[in-house]
Structure 1
Amino acid sequence: MGFLTDNSFNTKELDGKRVLVTGGTRGGIGEAIVKRLAHAGATVITTARKTPDELKASDLFIQADVSTPDGTTKIIKEVLERFGGVDILINNVGGSSAPTGGVLAQSDNDWQQAFETNLFAAVRLDRGLLPPMIKQGYGVIIHITSIQRRLPGNNTMAYSAAKAALTNYSKGLATEMAPKGIRVNTVAPGFTETKAAERLINRMAQNSETDYNSARQELMDSLGGIPIGRTARPEEVAELVSFLVSDRASYIIGCEHIIDGGIIRTI
C-alpha cells in the first residue's frame, strides 16, 4: 500500500485550476511553464510588458510591467475582476539590466530596478492575490529565484542580492501561510538556454569572433562547469514547477528546489 492515489499521475491533474504566470510569452522558462500547466488542464493567465504578435487567447493575457507598482496593481485588479482570483501563482519575472563593469559601475537606480523586478513584483502580487486564496483555504505560490543567490557574479550583484532576498521572503511567507492551506516554495534554475540566453551567447560569439558552441562553453566554464555537461532546457524547469503545484507535492512547503545540472556543489 502506498500514498499515491489512482489519479496521482492524471495528465489533467490541474483541471479547473486558475493559474497566473508572470512573464510567460518570450520563449523562456515562463512560456514553458504556461504550456506545461495548460497541458495539465489549468486555465493559465500570463503577463508581459508588450503584447506578443502571436497572442492566441487575449482573454488570458494581461499587458503590464510587473516591476512597477502600477503594473502589479493592474494585474491584481484584472485577475480579480475576470477570474475572482487564482489557485496557483507563479512569480516568474526576473532578470538583470545592470551595466557591465562591476559594482562601481552600478548606480542606485540599477540596484533599485533589480529589487523592483526580482523582489517587489512578487511581494506586491502575493499581497494582492493572497486574500482569495486564504478565503478558499487553498493556494500554491512558486517564486522563480536563481542559483545566483548563492553564486553572485561581478555584474549581477544587485540581481543576486534581490534573488537572495526573494528566497528569504519566500521562507517566511511559507511559514505564515501554511496553516491557512497555502503552500509556498521556490525554484532556483541554473544556466537555462532560453531565447534570452541564446541572444547573449550569440553576442558573446560575435564579440570574441568564435562560434555559438564555443561561446556557450565559455559561459558554462565561467560557472565552474556543469557536471551534467549541458545547459538546462526551459521545459525541464517547467516540469519541476508542474510537480510542485500539483497535489503530488502536497507536503512540500517552504523549500528551495535547485535545478542546475549539479553546478551548486555545497550541501
Structure 2
Amino acid sequence: MQNNQNEHKDLTGKTALVTGGTKGIGKAIADRLLQAGARVIVTARNAPEESNFDHHFIAADLTQAGQVTRLAEDINEKFGGIDILIDNIGGLTTPGGGFSALTDQHWESELQLNLLSAIRLDRALLPKMLERKSGVIIHMSSIAGLLPLWEHNMAYAVAKAALNSYSKALANELAGKGVRVLTVSPGATRTPPMENFIQQVASSAGLTYEEGLRHLMREIGGIPMGRMAEPDEVASLVYFLVSPAAAYLTGANYLIDGGALPVA
C-alpha cells in the first residue's frame, strides 16, 4: 500500500469528510485522499495551524449535537453530501488509575468524544449516501478497544470497544443498501498525542521518555516490528479501504499495530 506517484486518481469526483483532520493520523488521511483525487473537507475544533492547508476546513465541536447538525447542513448545502466519511475524531482525555479514578463526568466525556460524536455524524450524513445507494464510512478505533490497559486508558478503551460494536452493527444494516462501513484500529502511532501520553506515563513513574516508551511497550506485550506506526502508514490502509479495490469489504475491523495484538 505504498504511495505511487503514477497511480490513477481513483477517488476523482468523490467528496470526503475527515473529522479531526488537521493533524496526526487525520491530516495524513486527508492528504492521502486528496492525492487520490478526492475533494476533502476537514473538520476540527480549531483551525489548522499551517497557512497552506489544502483542504476545505469547517470548524465544529462534534461532541456538541447542535454543531454536528450545523456541520451536516453546511456540507449538504455546499457540497451536496459526501461519498466518504472518516470518523477520526477521538482521543484519551481521562486520567489513569483504574475505576476509582474515573468520575461520571470522565466516562461521559470519553463516550461523547470517542463514540457518540461518530454516531451523531453518521446519522446526519447517511441519508444522502442512502439516496445515492453509495458511500463508505470508516470508524477510526484503536487496539485499546481489544487490549485495554486499566492503569492508563479504561474509559477510552471501553468507548472504542463500543465503537467497534456499533460499527459492525451499522455495517450489517447498510450492507444491502450500497454503503460500506469499516473500522480501522491503529496501535501505537507516532503522533503528538501519543508522544504526550508516553511522556505522562514516564513522568508519573519517574522515568525518561525512552524508559516510559519501553515500559508501555512491555505492558502491551511488545510490538514485533519493533517500532511505532507512522501516520502515513495508517492513511495508506484507510485509502485502500475507501477505494474501488475494496468494494467487497464491509463490517471488518482492520488492525494496524505491527503485530502487537496477540489475537486478532
Alignment TM-score, normalising by the size of structure 1: 0.91
* Paired position in structure 1 for 2:16: 19
Q: 1:172 is matched by which residue type in structure 2?
A: A
Question: Secondary structure of 1:104's match?
Answer: helix
1:106–1:188 CA distance, 2 compared to 1 (3 A):
same
Matched, 1:73 2:69: yes
Structure 1 residues 203 and 176, CA, compared in 2 at 3 Å: closer, same or farther?
Answer: closer
Residue 204 (structure 1) shift: 4.7
Find the aligned partners of 2:65 and 2:139 in 1 and give their Cα distance: 18
1:218 aligns with 2:223: no
Distance 1:22 1:133, change over 3 A: same
**Structure 1 residue 134: Cα displacement:** 0.7
Query: Given the superposition, is the C-alpha separation of residues 59 and 240 from structure 1 closer, same or farther in structure 2, using an over 3 Å criterion?
Result: closer
What is the CA–CA distance in structure 2 between the aligned matches of 1:70 and 1:58, rounded to whole Å? 27
Change in 2 beyond 3 A, CA 1:199/1:156: closer
**Aligned-pair distance for 1:96?**
1.9
Point out where structure 2 has 5 or more consecutive residues left out of the alignment: 1-5
Q: Aligned pair in 2 of structure 1 residues 209, 149: CA closer, same or farther (>3 Å)?
A: closer
- Provide Cα deviations, 1:223-254, integer angstroms capped at 9, x if missing partner: 11111111111111100000000000000010
CA 101–212 in structure 1, closer or farther in 2 if over 3 Å, else same: closer
> 1:175: Cα distance to partner?
1.1
1:92 paired residue among 67, 88, 91: 88
Structure 1 partner of 2:173: 176
Aligned to 1:37: 33
Q: Shift of the alpha carbon at 1:201?
A: 3.2
Pair 192,59 (structure 1): closer, same or farther in 2 beyond 3 Å: closer
Query: Are 2:63 and 2:113, in contact at CA under 8 Å, matched by a contact in 1?
Result: yes
Which whole-Å deviations, capped at 9, do the CAs of 1:112-144 have from their partners, x for residues lacking one?
111111111111111110111111111000000
Q: How far does residue 99 in structure 1 lie from its aligned partner after superposition?
A: 1.8
Moved more, 236-245 or 175-184: 175-184
List aligned pairs for 1:142-153, cutoff 5 A: 142-153=138-149
The amino acid of 2:178's aligned partner reads: G
Alpha-carbon deviation of 1:58? 8.5
Instruction: Give 2:158's aligned residue.
Output: 161
**Structure 2 counterpart of 1:251:** 248
Q: Give structure 1 stretches of 5+ with no counterpart.
A: 1-8
Distance across 1 between alignment mates of 2:200 and 2:249? 40
Moved more, 201-210 or 54-63: 201-210
* Structure 2: distance between partners of 1:132 and 1:233: 33
Secondary structure (helix, strand or coil) at the match of 1:41 reads coil
SS at match of 1:21: strand
Change (3 A) 1:147 1:63: same
1:127 paired residue number? 123
Number of positions where the alignment pairs a residue of Structure 1 with one of Structure 2:
258
CA, structure 1 residues 82+56, in 2 after alignment: closer, same or farther (shift >3 Å)? farther
In structure 2, distance between residues paired with 1:56 and 1:64: 20
1:203 and 1:122 map into 2 onto residues whose CA distance is 27
Task: Give the aligned partner of residue 3 of structure 2.
Answer: none
Equivalent in the alignment of 2:196: 199
Whole-angstrom distance in 2 between the partners of 1:194 and 1:238 = 13
